[in-house]
Amino acid sequence: MGMNMLLLESGFTRWAGASWLVIALPLLVAAVLLSAGALSDSWGHWLGVAGIAVPFCYSILLFCLMLSAPEPFTSTLYTWLSLGTVKVGVSLLVDQLSILFLLLVTGVGMLVAVYTVGYLAHDAGRRRCFGYINLFIAAMLLLVLADNYGLLFLGWEGVGLASYLLIGFWQERNAAALAAKKAFLMNRVADLGLLTAIAVLFTQAGTLRFSAVPAALQEAGGPWAGIVGVALLLAACGKSAQVPLQSWLLDAMEGPTPVSALIHAATMVTAGVYLMLRSVPVYELAPTVRVVVVLIGVLTLFLGAWIAMTERNLKRVLAGSTMSQVGYLMLAAGLGPVGAVFAVFHLLTHGVFKADLFLTAGAITEAVGFNELRKLGGLLKLLPWTFAAFTCGYLAIIGVPFLSGFYSKEHIIAAAWADSPLLGVCALLGVGLTACYMTRLLLLLFAGKPRWQDTYDTDSTSDKHDTDDTADTEDTNTAADVEIRRTPASMAFPLVVLSLLALVGGLALNGWLQSWLAPVFSVTAPATNWLHFDWLSYTAIGVMLVGVLVAVVWYRKVTPAWFEEPVPAIASPGLYADIIMERGIVAPSVRLTSGVTWLEQRGLDSDAADADGTDGLWLGLNGVSALVLRLQNGSVRTYALLCSIGVVVVLALMLFWVWM
């Protein structure tokens, strides 16, 4: 036993050393796909899938090796940049936390890639999309494997760029271009926070490595830990679409659905939470900031739920739900090391079932061609398999016992309750709301009869963009002839896998995860076996059932007319967030820009050319020159007078010293 342990031992270090390959391979594939141009269209997508599959296999191998010898391994390749004494090294840390993220990102990534092969089958830019996906995977893995804030920032911005490219994938559509720009700018606003944090860490702590930062901040003392905490929180809010910077996530749905599944549900939005997890010791030093994190988590939880309740577009409902679930993660991460472990647990399970829900949404859009809830409905009979996959995700997310959502969320509620009863109540309320909006979505999608048969005008844009249909606003499929396109195999396989994982994931991780993450957060979170129910889990189940009942009562019989009623202002999705941003930030900056441009334009056209077109220098002095030239009037008398005055002046100036 010892021998192969040793073998495994050395095997792990040898393999972990090659962790940079995980980043380099997808980057290389992305470069090949993006620069190869049209000639790689036929095999491009399979290369893209391979670019993610290989790192996935590598992560599994690494995970297995790590199971037996669980201690972190850091491989330093070279010094990226030395800022004075601080050396920002390109060093990759493979520890228990990052291996989990490695698995989640590459796993879900591979499944989404396979799904995209089918989803974008007849889209000309598929190769480009795979290039961007590989770029995203590389950046996300760099972010996850970095062992210091400097390198993390590199991956952080790479992820922002990839999401910009993917949201704006169909850049012919103005809405997609605007959404991409909005997402990128809001991420950049958040990145200023991370940049400030790095600046403070450099000057006050003198180090950027995760392991060394808490001790250095402790020794630096003063308000610095708090400032770093706030800065990191700003960064996390931007990336994970938390309250102040959350409106970009709704518009991000303009991108292709598998992209939304991968980036805006499973991986990218969790990057902010990952940053929180890595900085848990920093927040230990600044308890007040920890409260703010929790507060933001709760706020986003309720805002996300509200959006999911009021949205009328399938993908935007799921986006609202993601925002709310990530609110849970922030709340958990803000509860200290114990909460962090449960945050990871919920993060993994949420990544799986949210991806499953998004992919089913993609399947629905692929089948009928639009994703407006107003026109959908009655899909039960038409798409049975999709219904089955959706229900697995549905049951998992609302927290039905024994499924993944229940276990991960139950721990968070327990931890929240332990922290403060009010927080516990909020968490419970969240469970109820989740149940309510998910049931509403289920009913609107699958119950009753298909509403698209009654509607006559088709105004909204269809999410699915067929390259062959010309204008994107006009939607040709009138009510009658919506034929249901069968979901191709490449889209079905990931759905099946994800549905199974959504069901069984929670059970697998429940007991094991707490012990696995103990060394990372240096705390052993309380592990409860899968059958253990206490009063809290019963109340949670009760609240969940109430939520379902309420939704069933409200949305049992929904007719198209119901959709026509005017929506009260308060119920508008996004709770005026967009309006505030529009009027508060965008409008004044547009006015400022036009003011500056006017000033510059005036500066450009100011000097007119000379009379005879020889537009010379110092045009301003022409007046003075004319004035001076009047002295040269050509009469000798004036010249003689000038000379005599000259003599007198020379004499006067000479005598000036004598009188001094």
> Which residues, numbered 552-591, are part of the site for other proteins (CB under 8 A)?
589
Binders of other proteins in range 580-639 (CB under 8 A): 589, 592-594, 596-597, 600, 603-604, 607, 609, 612-618, 621-622, 624-626, 628-629, 631-632, 634, 636, 638-639
Residue 622 C-beta: closest distance to other proteins, Å = 5
Residue with Cβ nearer other proteins (81 or 422): 81
Dihedral sign from CA coordinates of 246, 248, 254, 259: negative
Query: What is the distance between the alpha carbons of residues 461 and 423, in angstroms, rounded to a whole number?
Result: 40
Site track for other proteins across 92-131, x = CB under 8 A: ----------------------------------------
Among 164, 328, 390, 521, binds other proteins (CB under 8 A): 164
CA–CA dist 660, 654 (Å, integer): 11
Asked whether position 531 contacts other proteins by CB under 8 A, the answer is: no
Residues 181, 429, 484, 560: which binds other proteins (CB under 8 A)?
A: 181
Residue 473 lies near other proteins (rule: CB under 8 A): no
Quick check: 64 binds other proteins (CB under 8 A)? no
Instruction: Note whether 80 binds other proteins by CB under 8 A.
Output: yes
CB of 264 to other proteins, least distance (A): 19
Give the range of 185-193, 237-245, 265-273, 551-559 binding other proteins by CB under 8 A: 185-193
Bridge partners for 94 per DSSP: 73
Q: How many residues sit close enough to other proteins to count as binding (CB under 8 A)?
A: 84
Identify the residue among 79, 476, 478, 559 touching other proteins (CB under 8 A).
Answer: 79
Q: Which among 92, 227, 226, 217 is positioned nearest to 150, based on CA atoms?
A: 92
Biggest CA–CA distance in the chain, Å, is 121
Of 419, 278, 250, nearest to 344 (Cα)?
278
User: Measured from the CB of residue 215, what is the shortest distance to other proteins in angstroms?
Assistant: 20
Tell me whether residue 196 or residue 455 sits nearer to other proteins (CB atom): 196
Identify which range of 4-12, 174-182, 371-379, 498-506 contacts other proteins by CB under 8 A. 174-182
Query: At a CB cut-off of 8 Å and minimum separation 6, what does 386 contact?
Result: 360, 363, 364, 367, 379, 487, 495
When asked if residue 650 is in the footprint of other proteins (CB under 8 A), the reply is yes
Question: Rule CB under 8 A: is residue 653 a binding residue for other proteins?
Answer: yes
- 635, two tokens: 């009469």
Footprint on residues 201-260 left by other proteins (CB under 8 A): 202-203
Shortest Cβ 288–other proteins spacing (Å): 21
Sign of CA dihedral 77, 82, 85, 86: negative
For other proteins, which residue of 6, 81, 579, 587 counts as binding (CB under 8 A)?
Answer: 81
Does 476 interact with other proteins (rule: CB under 8 A)? no
Is beta strand 86-94 parallel, antiparallel or unpaired with respect to 73-83? antiparallel
Considering the complex, state which of residue 127 and residue 315 has its C-beta at the smaller distance from other proteins: 127
Which lies closer to other proteins via its Cβ, residue 104 or residue 138? 138
Give residue 586's identity as a one-letter amino acid code. Answer: V
First vs last C-alpha separation in the chain = 108
20 Cα distance to chain centroid = 23
DSSP conformation class of 573: G
Using the 8-state DSSP alphabet, how is residue 92 labeled? E
Q: What angle do CA 522, 526, 527 make, to 5 degrees?
A: 115
Q: Among residues 178, 276, 344, 445, which is the contact residue for other proteins, using CB under 8 A?
A: 178
- With tokens 């911005």, the residue in question is 157
Examine residue 84 and tell whether it contacts other proteins (CB under 8 A).
yes
Of 565 and 605, CB closest to other proteins: 605
Contact with other proteins (CB under 8 A): which of 28, 32, 69, 83?
A: 83
150 binds other proteins per the rule CB under 8 A:
yes
Q: Confirm if 115 and 359 have CB atoms less than 8 A apart.
A: yes
Q: Please, which residue, 71 or 610, has the CB nearer to other proteins? A: 610
Q: Which residue stretch of 186-194, 433-441, 477-485, 506-514 sits at the interface with other proteins (rule: CB under 8 A)?
A: 186-194
Least separation, in Å, of the C-beta of 530 and other proteins? Answer: 43
Is the Cβ of residue 456 or residue 618 nearer to other proteins in the bound state?
618
Tokens 């009942």, residue located: 549
What backbone torsions phi and psi does residue 122 show, to the nearest 5 degrees? -110, 30
Which CB atom, from 139 or from 427, has the smaller least distance to other proteins? 139
For residues 61 and 651, which CB has a smaller minimum distance to other proteins in the complex? 651
Angle between helix 384-398 and 404-419 (nearest 10): 20
Report, in Å, the least distance between residue 83 CB and other proteins: 5
The distance of closest approach from Cβ of residue 642 to other proteins in the complex, given in angstroms and rounded to an integer, is: 5
Rounded distance between C-alpha atoms, residue 17 and residue 28, angstroms: 19
Evaluate the CA torsion angle 492, 497, 500, 502 in order and state its sign. Answer: negative
Closest distance to other proteins from the beta carbon of 658 (Å): 7
Contacts to other proteins from residues 33-52, by CB under 8 A: 34
Cα-based distances in Å from 85 to 59, 143, 203, 207, 622: 34, 23, 10, 9, 59
- Kindly tell me the sign of the dihedral angle through the C-alpha atoms of 139, 142, 148, 150: negative
Dihedral over Cα of 303, 309, 313, 314: its sign: positive
How far, in Å, are 174, 178, 257, 366 from residue 472 at the CA level?
10, 16, 17, 16
**Gyration radius of the chain over CA positions:** 32
